[in-house]
Structure 1
Amino acid sequence: MLTRVIFRSRSWIPCRGQRRSFTGYQYQAEPEIPRVKYIRPVIWSAAAIGLIYFQAAQTEITLDYKHNGIDSKRGTSLTFEQIEAERVDQARAEMRRRSNANVSLYDLTSNQALATAWNSLTSVERAAGTVTGLNGMLHLSRIFFPDIRVAHLPIQNTNWTLLTSMFGHGGSFHLIANMYVLNSFALPVGASKTFKGSTSHCVAFYLSSGILSCLAYHLQSAVKPMYRYIPCLGSSGAIYAMIGAFGMSHPDAGIGIIFLPFSVPAQQALYGLAAFELYGTIFGWGLGLAHISHLTGLAVGVSYVYYNGGIHVWRNLKKFIYEVESGQRREIRR
């Protein structure tokens, strides 16, 4: 669960050369390093997160209609609360089927066994598996296409890399560690009271947390100019958000630490991680990690559960979209 800061050659730094004419000859002036923009990335991030959440909520409403056999064009007499209650019941049934499934890795010796194992997973776990596959494919593709750049470099002033940076990794260990943690926490976080088995909600939360974590790294460069020239790469900010949500949802659950034979209560682990990342952000540990991204992700996850984002953000957004669409259908029928 590490977001790496990667040192690259100076070819990463865009410069604008100034040509000057002087007494009949020309010379190339020193390159002018562009200023890092901060307002635009904030606006872009807010717009991207809003779009992600809106599209995810719209997708889930469409799936709710499909599961209930409702024609989205004609509408239904069911209220939003009734449709939402039915979705939650379906998610709980899926969780029960998952708990009863007993698939051993030693049985995965054929395509049929793999398909059976995949289908036995919850939709949240399948989403985490899909993210893992996308990250793995991108990592392998960089072997054949090394010029693919998804990392975020503040001095480049490229907004879209605030999102793409979370799909790249600095090495195989970095990728494996992050994806292991993601798949470990996907099921309990998805089943928590905040997310209630909603895959669309989990995906929107994951992507938005990644954007906010990378944005924090970008903004840090205003205080620590050296970070303007150091790319940020990795999904750890989003994964720290998952850990934060897990710790707030299951404070007494144990979190195992790799290579150590014991676990730590989730809430105590949150305190330890926060202290470690805060010290690293202010003073640095010399580990080459984007501590500010980790700390931001952790804060996002903790705050989202503490302030009940499942109700105040997700449910209210879904209800708003449902009521707008229902109102439009009533106007059409008139």
Structure 2
Amino acid sequence: MKLRRDAEQVAGNADNPWTRPTPIGPTPNESFASSHLHSKHAMLAYKISGPLLRCACYASQPRAISVFRPAVSRLRHLSQQRVQYAQQQSGAPRPAHEQPHIPEEILRQAVDDAPNDTYTKFPNVRVRYLIPAIWALSVSGGIFYGLAYLEAKKELKTKQASTGGWLQAPQWSTRQRGPPTPTEVVTGAWTSLDPISRVTYGIIGANSGIHLSSFLMPRAWETLWHLPARNVNYTQFTSMFVHSGALHFFLNMYFLNNFMAPVGYSRLFEGSPYHTLSFYLSAGVLSGFAQHWTTLSTRIPFHRRPIPEIFIRSGGASGALFGILGVFCMQYPHAGLGILFVPIHFDAQYVLPAILLFDLVGIIRGYSFVNLGHAAHFAGGMLGVAYSYFDGKTNVWKPLVRHWKRRLQQS
């Protein structure tokens, strides 16, 4: 689920010197970080037990926030200078009544102004919003258009094989074979899977490979996260495959493995792997843009945050997963959703509105106890609801497939 990376790593990115804040004060070794989470961590992890789906609501806890106070740092620096100077002098230290006195009003004003001082040290970057919106819509439409072509080609090939063409004589072989090779074992296991399971394990494999690259090629992996201040568009797509840690990765893949099959074989997708994959990827891109768009109204310090939203990067699959959740709750409204290890459950038709309301409030005013990617969650869930309610299969997918069938038959 899409977790907002702490800005300490953003600020320390050597490849993007313009994203690094100017140090304040003489103690550069102090950490200046915000573990503001762009969640995608607050997902529901399900396990299927008969007709009842049990879920665990997980919300990662942010790390301890270390706010760099310029005034305090200056005072600490002055104190260190005094100590160093005193060590060089001989004689006893001065009495307390002879120490210089700093007025309390100056201290209070300096501490109150510290967050604003910190904020102004970041570069003034103009973030684009129109071009990313056009890019997200174009890529989402291109995903549907391209995978509809593969669906049409597959259907025509199946029709030709079943109704026409020359019959091929069976090929007999008397060659003696030894035990299967590892490649043959893997290939046989893959071909024995149903189409939706192939999509599920394919997505899990892609996420696993990218997560492994964080250890092998960390610098390349860093470029996959979406940072609004960078003003690049491709990260709206790549950010759905990155995860902040093992727990983040495990919960997302656990959720995907439990939800994709019932959603893929619902009346909306009818077991079509290309249709299911189209919706998953498009929901991930559009929900990523939704989170990007919310920085338009949070470029000023919100709740006295020391780091602007445009310098907090995001990543994770929760936008796409919330889209899957929205479809699930619409297609199976009476399925039981409960918290793991808690012997109670609620109908999916009541759980989804509660989750969306929680994220809507988070978008409008935020929460003091947790900071999540509420916009990505809300957008993904609403996409799932809208695509199911307006019957995307009949009004979007089928027309695209028929369009490609006509073109392929004419060629």
Say yes or no: TM over 0.5: yes
The equivalent of 2:39 in structure 1 is none
Q: Find the counterpart in structure 2 of residue 3 from structure 1.
A: 2
Q: Which residue of 2 aligns with 1:15?
A: 18
Q: CA deviation at 1:118?
A: 5.0
Matched residue type, 1:201: H
| Residue matched to 1:293 | 376
Residues 10 and 312, structure 2, Cα contact 8 Å, conserved in 1: no
Amino acid at match of 1:133: G
- Asked if 2 retains the 8 angstrom alpha-carbon contact of 1:15 and 1:33, the reply is no
Distance 1:181 1:45 in 2: 25
The whole-number CA distance in structure 2 between the counterparts of 1:175 and 1:11 is: 24
Name the aligned partner's letter for residue 287 of structure 2: S
TM normalised by structure 1 equals 0.77
Q: Is the 8 A contact 1:37 1:157 kept in 2?
A: yes
The residue number in structure 1 matching 2:359 is 277
Aligned residue in 1 for 2:225 = 151
C-alpha displacement of 1:192: 1.0
- Percent of paired sites with the same residue: 34
Query: Contact 1:14 / 1:34 at 8 angstroms: preserved in 2?
Result: no
Instruction: Show structure 1 runs of 4+ deviating over 6 A.
Output: 110-117
| Map of 1:69 onto structure 2 | 160
Shift of 1:279: 1.9
Q: Structure 1 residues 206, 188: closer, same or farther in 2, change over 3 A?
A: same
Structure 2 residue corresponding to 1:310, chosen from 393, 396, 410: 393
Q: CA deviation at 1:119?
A: 4.7
Q: TM-score, normalised by structure 2?
A: 0.63
Do the aligned residues in 2 keep the contact of 1:3 with 1:232 (CA within 8 Å)? yes
Residue 133 of structure 1 corresponds to which residue in structure 2?
205
- What is the match of residue 50 of structure 1? 141
> Do the aligned partners of residues 321 and 116 (structure 1) sit closer, same or farther apart at CA in structure 2, a change above 3 Å counting?
closer
**For each residue in 1:222-250, what CA deviation from the matched residue of structure 2 results, as whole angstroms up to 9, or x when unmatched?**
01112211101100000000000000011
* Number of matched pairs: 278
Change (3 A) 1:187 1:300: same
The residue aligned with 1:243 is 325
Aligned positions of 1:1-334 closer than 5 A: 2-7=1-6, 8-12=9-13, 15=18, 33-69=124-160, 118-148=190-220, 149-225=223-299, 226-285=308-367, 286-326=369-409, 328-329=410-411
Shift of 1:254: 1.4
Amino acid at match of 1:3: K
Instruction: Note the residue ranges of structure 2 that are not aligned, 5 or more in a row.
Output: 20-120, 165-181, 300-307
Give the secondary-structure state (helix, strand or coil) at the position aligned to 1:296: helix
Instruction: Decide which structure has the larger Cα Rg and report it.
Output: 2
AA partner of residue 129 (structure 1): Y
Q: 2: CA distance between counterparts of 1:227 and 1:196?
A: 40
Q: Which amino acid aligns with 2:199?
A: A
Ranges in structure 1 where 5+ consecutive residues have no aligned partner: 17-29, 77-109, 330-334
**Deviations 1:157-188, CA, capped at 9 Å, x for gaps:** 11000000000011111111111111111111
In 2: Cα distance, 1:205 partner to 1:230 partner? 27
**RMSD (Å) for aligned C-alpha atoms:** 2.6
Change in Cα spacing, 1:33 to 1:11, as seen in structure 2 (3 Å) is farther
